[in-house]
Amino acid sequence: MVEKALTAVIQEAYIQDISTRSVDDLVKTMGMSGISKSQVSRLCEEIDERVQAFLDRPIEGNWPYLWIDATYVKVRQAGRIVSVAVIVAVGVNGDGRREVLGMDIGPSEAETFWTAFLRKLARRGLRGVKLVVSDSHEGIKAAVAKVLTATWQRCRVHFMRNALAHAGRSGRRVVSAFIATAFAQDDAAAASQQWRKVADQLRPTVPKLAALMDAAETDVLACMTFPTQHRAKLHSTNPLERLNGEIKRRTEVVGIFPNEAAITRLVGAILLEQNDEWAVQRARYITLESIAPISDDPLVSLPNVAAWPARPMPASDGPLRQLHHHQGHPPSAACSSTGSATDPILKRTPNASSTSRPAMFSPSDGGRVSMPSPWMTRVP
C-alpha cells in the first residue's frame, strides 16, 4: 500500500513536470518514464478511496490517552514551494490498544487549526479523553482546553531540551540528573515537592532555568496523577516519534509534493499500514487490568466478580467423604465410611491417614470447603 502510494506521488509529480532532479532520476531507474496521465489518475483514485475511508472512519469507544504531534513537509502552492504542517493523532482506547485516529494538513500549528482538527475527531466519535500528550505549543494547549477539557501533558523530552539550553555545556549532565530526581518520585505530591526543591537549588546560579521550571511544573508533571504503570508511556510524545520518523523517511524520497492531495495519499497510506500492524499485535500497548480503573466504559471498568461461596455440607461424615458425596456421587459400599475396601473414585483406602493431605475442610468456616484441590479429581 505505501509503496503504491509512493509510486503514485512520484509519477504524478513526473507527469506534471514539477518533479525534482532526484525524482526524475528515480522515475528513469524504475522504468516508469512511459506512464500516461490516465494510468496515474486511476492509481491515485484507487489509493485515495482507501486512505479517505480510513481517515473518516467512526471512532468508537473511550480513548483515555491521546498523543498529537506535527511534522513539516514541502509542497507546491500557486507556483511557490511552502512548508505545511502534517498533524497526526494516536490514541489508546479502553481496551489498551493503540490506533491512528486521524491526520490533517495546515499552513501552521495555529490554535484555530488544532481546534478544527480536534473538533473533527470529536464529531467522528472521540470521547473519554483523560490526558493529551504533545510538545509545548500554546495553540495545542488552548485547543485541548476548549474542545476536550482534558489534562495536558507537556512532552518531557522537549522540556529537557529547553531546560538544558539554559544550563550551559558543562552543567547539562548535573542539571539533567537533578531534574530527573523529581520524575523518580512515587506520586504527584512528592514529585512536585522535589521539583520545587531542585528549582530553588538552581535559582542562585541559573535563574532562567529556575523560572522555566516554575512555569512548567504543572504541565510536565501532569502524568504523575495517572497509574504508575502508564507513566513511562505518557510523559512524552515518544510513541509518535517512530511513526513520524517513518513519515519523514518516505516523504524525503519525494522531496517536494505536487499538491496537498499527494501528501494525504502518501502519509495516509503510511498511517493505514501502521494501524494495521498495531491491530494484529498480540500484546496490548497498555494492559487491560491497569487501564480499566480510568476507563469510562462500563464494560471495561466493571469490578472483578466475587467468587461463588462454597456450599455448606453436613458434619456427620468425614471431610473427604462430604466433598465426594456433595459432588453428586451416590454413596456405595465401596466408599462407605465403615468399609475397608479401596475407594474406586479417590483411589485410596478409607482408613489412610489424612494428615499429610492439603486441608479441604475447616471447622472454623462453619463446615465449608475452603478451596478445590487438583488431587481430588475424579479418576475414570
What pLDDT shows up at residue 252? Answer: 86
Q: What band does 330 get if pLDDT is binned at 50, 70 and 90? A: low
Reading phi first (left if > 0) and then psi (alpha if -120 to 50, else beta), residue 73 is in: beta
pLDDT at 5: 61
Q: What value does the mean pLDDT take over residues 191-213? A: 95
Q: Determine if the pTM surpasses 0.85.
A: no
Give the model's pLDDT for residue 29: 59
pLDDT band at 255 (very low <50, low <70, confident <90, very high): confident
- Of residues 35 and 11, more confidently modeled: 35
Over residues 288-315, mean pLDDT = 63
pLDDT of residue 116 exceeding 90, the answer is: yes
Please answer whether residues 75 and 84 qualify as being in contact, where contact means their C-beta atoms are separated by less than 8 angstroms.
yes
Whole-Å CA distances, 319 to 187, 348, 370: 49, 14, 11
Higher confidence at residue 11 or residue 281? 281
pLDDT of residue 148: 92
User: Three-class SS of residue 29?
Assistant: helix
| Confidence band, pLDDT 50/70/90 cuts, at residue 1 | low
Q: For 205-231, what is the mean pLDDT?
A: 95
Asked if the model's pLDDT at residue 44 lies above 80, the reply is no
Quote the DSSP letter at residue 348: B
- The percentage of the chain sitting over the pLDDT mark of 90, rounded to a whole number, equals 52
With 90 as the cut, is the pLDDT of residue 254 above it? Answer: no
Q: Which of 70, 122, 63 has the alpha carbon at shortest distance from 93?
A: 63
Residue 87, strand partner residues: 70, 104
- For residue 32, the model assigns a pLDDT of 54
Residue-wise DSSP of 260-322 = HHHHHHHHHHHHHHHHHHHHT-SS-SS-HHHHGGG---TTTSPPPPPPPPPPP--SSS-HHHH
Q: Domains along the chain?
A: 1-155+236-306 (3.30.420.10), 319-376 (no CATH)
Residue 7's pLDDT is what? 58
Query: pLDDT of 272-281, one tens digit each?
Result: 999 999 999 9
Residue 314 binned pLDDT confidence (cut-offs 50, 70, 90): low
Q: 93 with 63: CB under 8 angstroms? A: yes
Mean pLDDT, rounded, for 58-81: 93
Provide the pLDDT for residue 80: 92
